[in-house]
Amino acid sequence: MTPLHLVVLSLIPGFLLGGIPSGLWIGRSRGVDLRTVGSRNIGATNAYRILGARWGIAVFVLDALKGASAAWLAGWIAAWLRIDDPHARLYAALAGGIAAIAGHVFSPWLGFRGGRGVATSLGVFLAIVPVPSLLAFGLWIVLVALSRRVSVGSIGAAMAYPVLVLLLLRGAPDRMLLVAVSTLVAILVIVRHRANIERLLAGTEPPILGRKAGERP
């Protein structure tokens, strides 16, 4: 069994795990189809607005767990196959994680439609490189608190994340690979927020907390 086989074996379960529509299932358990209300997105932000904070946070956590589980699963597969090469294990974790992000964005259970991939990406990178990921999550919290808009936090954290990986993983043997992968994921997250970016530029992006867009203090 070669490292390439390990990478390939990590892709399909990662994609299927990532595609699990957590938000849709939680919404349906509350009598709501998130695809038909609000932003019509099955992600945590729409769940937060429609179902309330508790359920929005639950969707966020479950989506993050999908990503982390896909990365961890690669390690379990490597252990089962008795592959000890740390580089091979990292490549497999990245392959499984990227597949999970793709599965979330293009869910095979929902006609290849899905969310924006923020929480799932966080879960993947928390499992692989926790320190830069925790700092990016902290930045996300700060930006959301200051702007009251989740999209601002998500876009800002995505832009900062490859820089954090570059700065904090000095000396790591696979540093540039991690920078490249995190850059590609950041681009995907930003592209998935293109409608939000248009609304932010137009001043019509609704806040997650407090007053509605355009409302006076």
- Taking the C-alpha atoms of residue 37 and residue 44, their distance in angstroms, rounded to an integer, is 13
Say if residue 139 is in the same domain as residue 102.
Answer: no
Q: What is the pTM (predicted TM-score) of this model?
A: 0.89
Say if residue 69 is in the same domain as residue 138.
Answer: no
Say if residue 96 is in the same domain as residue 152.
Answer: no
Tell me 214's DSSP state.
T
* pLDDT score at 212: 41
**How many CA atoms, within 13 angstroms, populate the side-chain half-sphere of residue 148?**
13
- Taking the C-alpha atoms of residue 86 and residue 193, their distance in angstroms, rounded to an integer, is 34
Residue 120 falls within a domain, yes or no?
A: no
Residue 29 is which amino acid? S
Q: Which domain holds residue 16?
A: 1-115
- Taking the C-alpha atoms of residue 196 and residue 121, their distance in angstroms, rounded to an integer, is 18
* pLDDT score at 216: 32
The residues of the chain scoring below 70 in pLDDT are 1-3, 209-217
Q: How far is CA 61 from the centre of its chain?
A: 10
Residue 83 falls within a domain, yes or no?
A: yes
**pLDDT 10s digits, 133-188:** 999 999 999 999 999 999 999 999 999 999 999 999 998 889 999 999 999 999 99
